[in-house]
Amino acid sequence: MAVDIFLITDPQIEVERTAELLKATLERVNAAALLVAAGEADDYVYIERLKKLAPIAQARDCAVLVDGRPSLVKSARADGVHMSGGVKALREAVDTLKPDYIVGTGDIGSRHEAMVRGELEIDYLMFGDRDDPETNGREMADWWAETFEVPSVYFAGPADAGTLGERRSEFIAFAQADWDKIDALLGEQA
């Protein structure tokens, strides 16, 4: 199975440094999606970040996703939104943005929660904790990929080195801190 890569930025790193690293990463690997993490930035600062990073990714056919702020998708010329949190907000994003934009979700705490979200016409479910890479969502990501049609995104970390070839998820997500290690983490598949 081909590896589809999902990149996640670090909102703590200045946008110019992130842009340089993004360009270098996209020269080495084909990424399917870039989630521009919002952190604590207000909408103005965040949309400026999106406007600097989106053209770099989109020039390489890499979809750009807004982090939890569906109202900014159109103005930022992004390709969609990644929603965390409750089902109500996810449902509103689907109602507002589908079918023209991507709507995905993450921060899933149980199989039941995954199934409830998966029924909402979303494009993917991300398993694993972006804020705590030590929290491993691999078992749930593999279960989802084996059982359901909606694509599974597995948030990988350094502990996954050498084992990502065994994963069942359609996408593997990498935090910005690991972008320079993607080849090593993927092993022979890179």
Mean pLDDT of the chain: 90
pLDDT value at position 190? 42
pLDDT value at position 109? 83
Kindly report, residue by residue over 108-153, the tens digit of the pLDDT: 889 999 999 999 999 999 998 776 655 668 889 989 999 999 999 9
β-pairing, 4-8 with 63-67? unpaired
Distance from C-alpha of 58 to C-alpha of 26, rounded to nearest angstrom: 11
Sequential DSSP letters for 77-125? T-SEEEE-S-HHHHHHHHHHHTTTSEEEE----SHHHHHHHHTS--SEE
Question: And the tokens for 164?
Answer: 């990502």
Q: Cis (ω within 30 of 0) for the bond into 70?
A: no
Question: Structural domain of residue 115, as residue ranges?
Answer: 4-189
pTM of the model: 0.93
Domains contained in the chain, number: 1
For residue 82, pLDDT over 70 is answered with yes
Neighbour-count burial of 124, counting CB atoms closer than 10 A to its CB (0-12 exposed, 13-18 middle, 19+ buried) = buried
Read off the CATH number of the domain in which 33 is found. 3.20.20.70
- Model confidence band, residue 179 (pLDDT cutoffs 50, 70, 90): very high
